[in-house]
Amino acid sequence: MNRLTLRMKLFWAILTGRSKVETVRAGDLQIDFLDLRETRTREASDLKPVIKQALRHLSDAMGGFGELVTAHLRLLVAANLSKERVLHQQRAYVCRFEGDASRDGLYLACLLIWAAVSSRLARDQEAFRPVPDRAAIRQAAQDAQLRFVKQFPDWEHWADVLQLPH
């Protein structure tokens, strides 16, 4: 699914009321959430608790990670796609919520950091160059994820799970 099709699907789901945007809050952080997965998948797993857990991890961490995520991501979308996508103009992160992302708040927090850094830098670079430097954006996002996980006692495990160079 290309980005235009995904944007139209998001717009149509909200417009028709097929899926509603819910605000998930934890502490002083919040993010809007839209579940576009099939109904039976939605019923099988409620993702709001893991999103709240991720927001708590971000809020508790030093270094402004909570502010980074909530300033640069407005919408978190659960969808059945072949890969995750950051829609930087819409400040949205489309996540498959498979594996650890559907059950571990720390892992999801790392994904949100990656998406927020990617969104911010892609928008910044578009202002100055016609084609964003994807490698530089990826490196900056991985660096931010590593700074985040290093605040936890089992940081090496998470760095390995996220395939971060360390």
Which pLDDT belongs to residue 83?
83
**How distant is the alpha carbon of residue 55 from its chain centre?**
11
Which pLDDT belongs to residue 48?
93
77-106: pLDDT as tens digits: 998 888 888 988 889 999 999 889 999 999
Q: Where are the domains of the chain?
A: 3-161
Q: From CA 117, how far away is CA 144, in angstroms rounded?
A: 8
Q: What is the pTM of this model?
A: 0.86
Phi, psi of 9 (to 5 degrees): -65, -40
Q: From CA 56, how far away is CA 30, in angstroms rounded?
A: 10
* Amino acid, single-letter form, for residue 149: V
Asked if residue 111 lies in contact with residue 84, where contact means CB atoms within 8 angstroms, the answer is yes
